Amino acid sequence: MLVIGGIVAAALIYLAPPADGLSAEGQKAFSVFVLCTTLWISNALPYGVTALLAVAGLGLTGAMKPSEAYAAFGSSAIFFLIGIFLIGGALTETGLSKRCALLMLRRFEQSPFAFAMGMMLTGAFATVWMPNQATTAMLFPIAMEVAAALHLKPRESQYGKLLFFAMAWGAMVGGNLSFLGSSRAALALGMLQQRYSQGIAFSEWMLAAAPVVLLGLVTTPIILRAAFDPEPVDFGAARRVIERAVENLGPMRRPQYVALAIISLTILAWVSVGGRRVDLAVIALLGAVALFAFKVLTWEKAERHVYWNIVLMYGGAIALGSALDRTGAAKWLLQGVLDGYQPSAHMTILGAAVLALILSEVMSNAAALAVVLPLAFTLANHSGASPVALVLAVSFGAGLDFMFPMSTAPNTIIFASGYLQTKDFLKAGLLMTVASILILLAVVHWWWPIIGLV
């Protein structure tokens, strides 16, 4: 019904006489926007396919020239995304990420709760350097082995619930600390570049995100202990699982040393010159090429780690955002919603972040970002809000979607374990979502003015 309603609404908007203050091209762009937003919410089509429909729809309706819509796939964000997928693939294929994770987990064997917190911190640390879905997928088999060794009962064990949530939420919270932890950062940067021809330095992003991540990691164990009362377990069997996994690693091999060197140099370049002096995508692509040149990656292995559904979605989202901006549709929509109200810069940033968070509970976080950012950019022109602060706030807000199993990849992965039920996500996720909103509001209000973002 939702899909049918969206199709009917889009058709009525397209066929209706032009609204006051809205150009014909803007009305066409708005009709495509309504259709694609409905499809993203309903998940009736894969996200990438809906994005292709957006590009085709913009060209077919005349909202944009087809060549302008296609040009979105030439955005630096698309190539940055491909680059970080390849770099993350090298970490996985060489076993370097698993080695680092196991050696870190080994330090948290003192108690069951300490181990769960070790999973959280390991996930948070790993997502500074690789996408959170890849991190969760890497840690998932370890958590499953530990759960089996402890004879935890699926759907019943409170410790099992705490363990899997700690693993996934650590990756989700930690993924905000850098561009690499979540692919939505690439989309946000691409839309910023498309609209304002400016970027964000790697170090600037980390400085803005640090309090959000640190406070989130402090809050997560408090909420998980409040939501779940773990039963006593004999952790000896779990220790043996970890020790056996560490022994099976063996010595470091040449591909791991080479991957470590190339990725370290890539990160150093991002931190030192990326975003302001050298385009982030250029650095990512050079790092990816080096991984192929030194035989760390082969094309067959690399193909497994480039998620084309996400790449296509981002190209379509950038095209749709550009169309809403150029045709004036975003401005017209906001004028109708706000009805003369002029929010302050602070309210613009906070409102956009909260809206992105709410939408990300019912659609993918990247889709939520694609819907919110074009509107937020238009509002920023009137409120004086910093576009960089808007991008950061919306990106962080869209990534704090804890309440539903299908709202984000880490949640989907742990739901497949069989140890969790939907009501567990609602129970703990609601608390975590509220806490995340409060943390983000506090950071935007007190920390960002100190570092000059607001």
pLDDT in tens, 121-171: 999 998 888 888 888 888 888 889 888 888 889 989 999 999 999 999 999
- 172 Cβ partners below 8 Å, 6+ apart? 127, 132, 399, 400, 402, 408, 410, 411
The per-residue pLDDT for 341 is 66
On the question of pLDDT at 78 being above 70, the answer is yes
Q: Phi and psi (nearest 5°) for 110?
A: -65, -35
Q: Are 185 and 179 in contact (CB under 8 A)?
A: yes
Amino acid at 98: K
The per-residue pLDDT for 63 is 92
| Inter-CA distances, 153 with 31, 156, 420, Å | 49, 5, 10
Reported as half-sphere exposure (CB side, CA atoms, 13 A), residue 322 has a value of 30
The per-residue pLDDT for 340 is 60
Closest alpha carbon to 104 in 91, 118, 124: 118
pTM: 0.83
Q: Are 284 and 306 in contact (CB under 8 A)?
A: no
Over residues 397-424, the mean pLDDT reads 86
Q: Please state, for a pLDDT cut of 90, what percent of the chain lies above it.
A: 34
On the question of pLDDT at 208 being above 80, the answer is yes
The per-residue pLDDT for 412 is 85
The per-residue pLDDT for 339 is 61
Over residues 91-104, the mean pLDDT reads 86
- Which of 28-32, 170-174, 208-212, 247-251 is predicted least confidently? 247-251
Q: Are 142 and 245 in contact (CB under 8 A)?
A: yes
Over residues 375-389, the mean pLDDT reads 85
- How do residues 328-373 score in pLDDT, each as one tens digit? 888 887 777 666 667 788 888 888 888 888 888 777 777 788 888 8
The per-residue pLDDT for 61 is 93
Tokens 């929509």 map to which residue?
333
Over residues 294-304, the mean pLDDT reads 92
Over residues 293-313, the mean pLDDT reads 89
Q: Please state, for a pLDDT cut of 70, what percent of the chain lies above it.
A: 98
The per-residue pLDDT for 286 is 96
Q: Are 380 and 350 in contact (CB under 8 A)?
A: no
Tokens 């077919």 map to which residue?
60
Over residues 411-432, the mean pLDDT reads 90
Over residues 380-401, the mean pLDDT reads 87
* Residue 446: CB atoms within 10 Å: 11
The mean of the pLDDT values for the chain is 88
Over residues 396-414, the mean pLDDT reads 84
Banded pLDDT at 256 (limits 50, 70, 90): very high
On the question of pLDDT at 213 being above 90, the answer is yes
The per-residue pLDDT for 338 is 65
Beta bridge partners of 358: none
On the question of pLDDT at 420 being above 80, the answer is yes
447, two tokens? 């920390």
The per-residue pLDDT for 436 is 92
On the question of pLDDT at 56 being above 70, the answer is yes
On the question of pLDDT at 188 being above 80, the answer is yes
154, two tokens? 């699926």
Distance CA 76, CA 186 (A): 9
Distance CA 430, CA 402 (A): 7
Distance CA 379, CA 352 (A): 10
